[in-house]
């Protein structure tokens, strides 16, 4: 892996010295090679029955229920951990360590040597659960080839990923050189970025309360800071590449009629293969769960239908980011929106004054 260009995204790279032009890298590449996609067998709305697990997860906590189960069965789990500002996939074999994977990190995760470790685990006869973005799971399935019988792939419904470089620049912009030992991007269903240093929260911004305060979140949410491949993502569609797809059950109809509370978020789980369905069946007792139509999940979640569009605002952001730091470039790219917001605030103030 190497970082590329001003954007700093991680990209696979060919080591020219050892390349023998065999073409295998293109065959296993999730972007260029063939991929098998399947329409989900059904859909579930679900959340963890364990309330502390539930409230510390981004959606309904289904990822950690799956991970706990895999370790209880003697398997190992791979997922994304934020070690300070270092966002990367790690291997977990002890349930006590599963906290590391909790929560969405809205940053490109570094998978570095993880695919090799997964292959070694599979060769040693272990069951492996890997959770990641669909492009990561697609790449891993191709990489392990025939060994995939014991591999359980779970992908996230994915907007797209900004780079770690952008995230680091933003963190330095908002808190200076202070050490960061924990980052969190969600507070249940709310999009809250918080940074902690020595166990104390040193920065907190709630995107739902003020969408112009934190420019990293704004750029992520409105899709201007992603990798090129995200705008052409072949996995942002109803047909899926993994055994199970999970995400937020946005757009669920009549959530109040569900026989369980959803105040801290709700997961959607889409089993795609029989193996995925059997795995969900095995964790059923640890979940509040209700079957729903796949179409309902697809209708409520744009990224189950198409990738984020590459708009003029993306080009604008990229042009600014070529010469300015991240926060300045993102703020300028949204200047028109900010101006409109300011003007509408002024208008309301004047109208209120006139009415008095
Ligand atoms: C970049 C990104 C974009 C997303 N976009 C959408 C979306 O558009 N619509 C939607 O419904 N859901 C989206 N999600 C998924 C959603 O935010 C939750 O992660 C998902 O619902 C799982 O929540 P949970 O409560 O089950 O588990 P959590 O406890 O939140 O567990 C998170 C799981 O996700 C994995 N993970 C976390 N960050 C990353 C990362 N950067 N790269 C790879 N794997 C990671 C961890 O390994 C862990 O297993 C996105 C997630 C990410 C990381």
Task: Report which DSSP code applies to 273.
Answer: S
Q: What is the pLDDT of residue 13?
A: 87
Question: Quick one: average pLDDT of 288-310?
Answer: 97
Give the H or E element holding residue 10. strand 9-11
Share of the chain above pLDDT 90, in %: 85
Q: Which atom of ligand 1 is nearest to the CA of 136?
A: 43
Q: Pick from 104, 216, 237, 300 the residue to mutate for probing ligand 1's pocket: most ligand atoms within 8 Å of its CB.
A: 104
Q: Pick from 139, 156, 226 the residue to mutate for probing ligand 1's pocket: most ligand atoms within 8 Å of its CB.
A: 156
Output the residue whose Cα is nearest ligand 1's atom 5: 158
Which residue did the predictor score with more confidence, 245 or 29? Answer: 245
Q: What is the pLDDT of residue 24?
A: 87
Task: Give me ligand 1 centre to Cα 351, in Å.
Answer: 43
Question: Quick one: average pLDDT of 203-232?
Answer: 96
Task: Give me ligand 1 centre to Cα 245, in Å.
Answer: 10
Q: What are the residue boundaries of the structural domains of the chain, listed by start?
A: 2-161+226-304, 164-224+311-344
Q: With a 6 A CB cut-off, is 133 part of the ligand 1 pocket? A: yes
Output the residue whose Cα is nearest ligand 1's atom 19: 104
- For residues 258 and 249, is the Cβ–Cβ distance under 8 A? no
Nearest C-alpha neighbor of 328 from the set 128, 173, 195, 127: 173
pLDDT band at 236 (very low <50, low <70, confident <90, very high): very high
Q: With a 6 A CB cut-off, is 62 part of the ligand 1 pocket? A: yes
Q: With a 6 A CB cut-off, is 292 part of the ligand 1 pocket? A: no
Which residue did the predictor score with more confidence, 259 or 147? Answer: 259
Phi, then psi, of 139 in degrees rounded to 5: -65, -40
Question: What are the CA-CA distances from residue 289 to residues 69, 92, 148, 246, 267 (Å)?
Answer: 16, 26, 28, 13, 9
Output the residue whose Cα is nearest ligand 1's atom 43: 132
As a whole number, the mean pLDDT across the chain is: 95
Q: Which atom of ligand 1 is nearest to the CA of 247?
A: 21
Q: With a 6 A CB cut-off, is 267 part of the ligand 1 pocket? A: yes
Structure tokens at 16: 């020219």
Q: Each residue of 173-198: pLDDT tens digit?
A: 999 999 999 999 999 889 999 999 99
Q: With a 6 A CB cut-off, is 80 part of the ligand 1 pocket? A: yes
Task: Give me ligand 1 centre to Cα 182, in Å.
Answer: 17
- For residues 267 and 246, is the Cβ–Cβ distance under 8 A? yes
Task: Give me ligand 1 centre to Cα 247, in Å.
Answer: 7
pLDDT band at 349 (very low <50, low <70, confident <90, very high): confident
Distance of alpha carbon 349 from the chain centroid: 39
- For residues 66 and 79, is the Cβ–Cβ distance under 8 A? no
3-state secondary structure at position 271 = strand
Cβ burial, residue 234 (10 Å; 0-12/13-18/19+): middle
Q: What angle do CA 137, 139, 141 make, to 5 degrees?
A: 65
Output the residue whose Cα is nearest ligand 1's atom 9: 157
Q: Which residues contact 122 (CB under 8 A, 6 or more apart)?
A: 128, 144, 147, 148, 150, 151
Q: With a 6 A CB cut-off, is 191 part of the ligand 1 pocket? A: no
Task: Give me ligand 1 centre to Cα 309, in Å.
Answer: 20
Task: Give me ligand 1 centre to Cα 145, in Å.
Answer: 25
Task: Give me ligand 1 centre to Cα 276, in Å.
Answer: 18
Q: What is the pLDDT of residue 355?
A: 79
Share of the chain above pLDDT 70, in %: 100
Q: What is the pLDDT of residue 352?
A: 82
Q: With a 6 A CB cut-off, is 223 part of the ligand 1 pocket? A: no
pLDDT at 2 over 80: no
């Amino acid at each position: 892996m190497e970082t590329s260009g001003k954007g700093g995204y991680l990209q696979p790279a060919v080591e020219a010295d050892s390349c023998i032009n065999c073409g295998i890298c293109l065959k296993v590449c999730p972007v260029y090679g063939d991929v098998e996609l399947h329409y989900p067998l059904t859909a579930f709305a679900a959340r963890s029955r364990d309330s502390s697990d539930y409230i510390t997860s981004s959606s309904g906590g289904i990822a950690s229920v799956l991970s706990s189960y895999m370790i209880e069965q003697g398997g190992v789990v791979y997922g994304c951990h934020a070690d300070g500002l270092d966002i990367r996939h790690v291997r977990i074999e002890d349930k006590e360590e599963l906290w590391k994977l909790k929560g969405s990190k809205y940053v490109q995760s570094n998978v570095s040597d993880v695919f090799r470790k997964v292959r070694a685990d599979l060769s040693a006869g272990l069951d492996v659960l890997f959770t990641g973005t669909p492009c990561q799971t697609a790449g891993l399935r191709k990489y392990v080839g025939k060994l995939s019988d014991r591999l359980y792939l779970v992908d996230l419904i994915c907007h797209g990923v900004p780079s770690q470089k952008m995230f680091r620049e933003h963190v330095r912009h908002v808190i200076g050189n202070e050490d960061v030992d924990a980052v969190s991007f969600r507070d249940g269903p709310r999009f809250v970025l918080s940074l902690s240093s020595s166990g104390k929260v040193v920065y907190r911004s709630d995107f739902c309360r003020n969408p112009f305060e934190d420019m990293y979140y704004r750029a992520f949410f409105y899709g201007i800071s992603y990798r090129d491949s995200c705008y052409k993502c072949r996995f942002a569609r109803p047909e899926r590449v993994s055994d199970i797809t999970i995400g937020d059950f946005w757009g669920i109809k009549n959530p109040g009629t569900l026989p369980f509370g959803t105040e801290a978020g709700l997961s959607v789980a889409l089993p795609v293969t029989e193996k995925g369905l059997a795995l969900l069946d095995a964790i059923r007792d640890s979940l509040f769960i209700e079957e729903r139509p796949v179409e309902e999940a697809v209708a409520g979640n744009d990224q189950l239908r198409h990738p984020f569009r590459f708009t003029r605002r993306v080009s604008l952001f990229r042009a600014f980011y070529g010469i300015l730091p991240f926060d300045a470039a993102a703020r300028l790219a949204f200047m028109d929106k900010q101006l409109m917001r300011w003007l509408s605030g002024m208008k309301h103030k004047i109208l209120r004054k006139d009415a008095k």
